[in-house]
Amino acid sequence: MVPDDHKGNYVLIRAESELDSSNRERFVTNGVIVIEIVTQHQQLTNAETVELIDNEVRQRIFPTRKTIGLPPVNDTQVLNVKMSDAFYDNSFAGALYIHRKICRYNNRIIQLN
């Protein structure tokens, strides 16, 4: 959680839901991950910074157009990563203009061995 008095930009990553789809061969979880990008400015600006950060996140998740998952880590791999939806929320709090972009990613987590 980000402290209320934090004045910079930040990214929150959290699990929203998951469904166990395990079978006799391996453990499988279908989940939804939410990535919330928040930028704060003292002057009214457009959401360009939110988009720049979102592009950085997407480059990590999808390094190429043919990429469908993340590299394996400790016998586990995240596959079939797809953004299901995204929305924007702009607000004003005290002296700060706040731009948010909230993206939901569906994914499949499998046990490799």
Q: Domain coordinates of the chain in residue numbers? A: 10-111
CA dihedral sign of residues 64, 68, 69, 72: negative
Q: Answer whether residue 1 shows pLDDT above 80.
A: no
Whole-angstrom CA distances from 97 to 32, 39, 51 are 29, 8, 16
pTM for this predicted structure: 0.83
pLDDT of residue 2: 75
Domain 10-111 fold is STM4215-like (3.30.2000)
- pLDDT tens for residues 5-26? 777 889 999 999 999 999 999 9
* pLDDT reading at 88 higher than 90: yes
**Confidence band of 71 (pLDDT split at 50, 70, 90):** confident
| Distance from the Cα of residue 51 to its chain's centroid | 13
